Amino acid sequence: MLRFCFLLSFVAIVLIFKISNAATAAVTGDTSKSDRIALTKEIILERNSASSQPFTINSFGDGDLLITAAENHPIHKASVTRVDSNGKVKWRYYASLQVLPENLSASPEFHGAIVMPDSSSFECGQMVRQEPGFHPGIAGHESLLAMLTHLDADGRLLGEQVLHPQSEPDHAYGSFSRCAHVADTVLALGIAFRATPKPAGTQGPPGKLDYFYWIMAFDEAGNAKWEHLFPISSKLVGLPHDISQIQETKNGFAFAAARRGMTEVVSMSLQGDMRAQTVLDGMFSIARPTFSSPDLQLTALVTDKVVSVTLDSNLHETKRFSVDHEVGEAKIAYRSSDQSLVLFGDAIIPDKPDYNTRISILDSTLQHSQDFYFVPKDNSAWVEAATPTSGTNDFAAIRIIDKPAVTHDLVLDFVHVR
């Protein structure tokens, strides 16, 4: 899940991501048996990387996949890569690092991506920029800016923007973590915080920080249509740890944000007006439907339980199911056309310490379930991102396997559920 690093305590983690032009098709370990979940193909994209951090995976619909990631070779870069179904790289794009002339350094990352109907793509994320005179850990020496990049189907740059919330470069900072294509609108969603400096000559903390959701709408060419900031619920006590993917609803969209055992769910119109808002107990994320759905279904895998909550268009709870489950975490959740839940995550099983990555499928009432475990030959494994590929029952997932000497294998798994 995405972890937000905000301005006052930003720690840069250097990561490397490289997809080989000669990806290897190979199973990295034995897998468990399941009659509802099948691993149809596995490709090793990168072996023995010093470190790696892919962020998103999206399908072009023709078998190709779009992957965003962080790289640090030789400097920190944000990459966008198109690969075919065999893992072969078709093109790669790197975000520009030169935002303003006075930059000493910049750390761009793409945390969200969209593939458009014409196979162009939008990527959204953040740029952490060190100011002149930078000293680590000193407030005011780093800026957090948002990024929006538009590429054509062949990876050529159509446009790249670096943005401040409501164009306030002095006191407002923010980043995008999710983006979506809804109707004829490209939506970018993230967080922002506005610093109010204390009056001159006064003592105490350096100023006040106010936290907001930040939503911008663009047309399909990347031109801004509207922008809104609205306060994050005080029940979340600060910036959300996780913001779910945006789900299209009837004439609008919705999202969920979670922090410290609470989840805020927000429904908005395509003009940016808030329709409804509610706060749930528990850490939930939206189970993204692989089909058109008027309802929101939120899923939480909390320690030893899976919980499913359905909300109507007014965010009123209509259904809730809960079932005991082996201890673990669901990082990505999808909802298939028969209302089954497909969960990509990990498991902690005391008697099977090498079983880590888990894919689960549960029926609509959570009464019947099956789990599929990868059994890596090395230390551990987890899923970073997953996406539907064709229809509602096929998925591609990016999995990381820890190796000895602090290295990773980066693996592309193709999964069929029934």
The pTM is what?
0.85
Last residue of a domain, one of 171, 205, 238: 238
In a domain, 316, yes or no: no
Q: In terms of domains, do 3 and 133 share one? A: yes
Pairing type for strands 274-281 and 65-72 reads unpaired
Order of strands, sheet of 157-163, starting from the edge strand that comes earlier in the sequence: 105-115, 121-130, 142-151, 157-163
Last residue of a domain, one of 238, 270, 305: 238
Q: Which residues pair with 381 in a beta bridge?
A: 401
Q: In terms of domains, do 39 and 77 share one? A: no
Q: Which residues of 193-208 are buried (b: 16+ CB within 10 A; e: fewer)?
A: bbbeeeeeeeeeeeee
Domain membership of residue 405 as a residue range: 21-50+324-418
Q: In terms of domains, do 120 and 39 share one? A: no
In a domain, 145, yes or no: yes
Q: In terms of domains, do 38 and 157 share one? A: no
Last residue of a domain, one of 238, 272, 290: 238
* Number of domain units in the chain: 2
- The pLDDT, as a whole number, for residue 2 is 40
In a domain, 265, yes or no: no
pLDDT tens per residue across all 418 residues of the chain = 443 343 333 223 222 334 444 455 444 444 566 789 999 999 998 887 765 688 999 999 999 999 999 877 667 788 999 999 999 999 999 987 544 444 445 678 999 999 999 999 999 999 877 655 544 444 444 678 899 999 999 999 999 998 988 866 655 788 999 999 999 999 999 999 877 766 666 665 556 778 899 999 999 999 999 999 999 998 887 788 889 999 999 889 999 999 888 999 999 999 999 999 999 999 999 999 998 888 899 998 666 889 999 999 899 999 999 998 877 788 899 998 888 999 998 877 666 555 578 899 999 999 999 988 876 544 567 888 999 998 778 999 998 887 666 677 888 999 999 8
- The pLDDT, as a whole number, for residue 57 is 97
Residue 54, preceding peptide bond in cis (omega within 30° of 0): no
In a domain, 284, yes or no: no
- The pLDDT, as a whole number, for residue 201 is 64
What residues contact residue 276 under an 8 Å CB cut-off, 6+ apart? 266, 267, 313, 314, 315
- The pLDDT, as a whole number, for residue 350 is 65
Q: In terms of domains, do 198 and 335 share one? A: no
Pairing type for strands 185-197 and 172-182 reads antiparallel
> CA-to-CA distance for 151 and 140, rounded, in angstroms?
33
Q: In terms of domains, do 160 and 37 share one? A: no
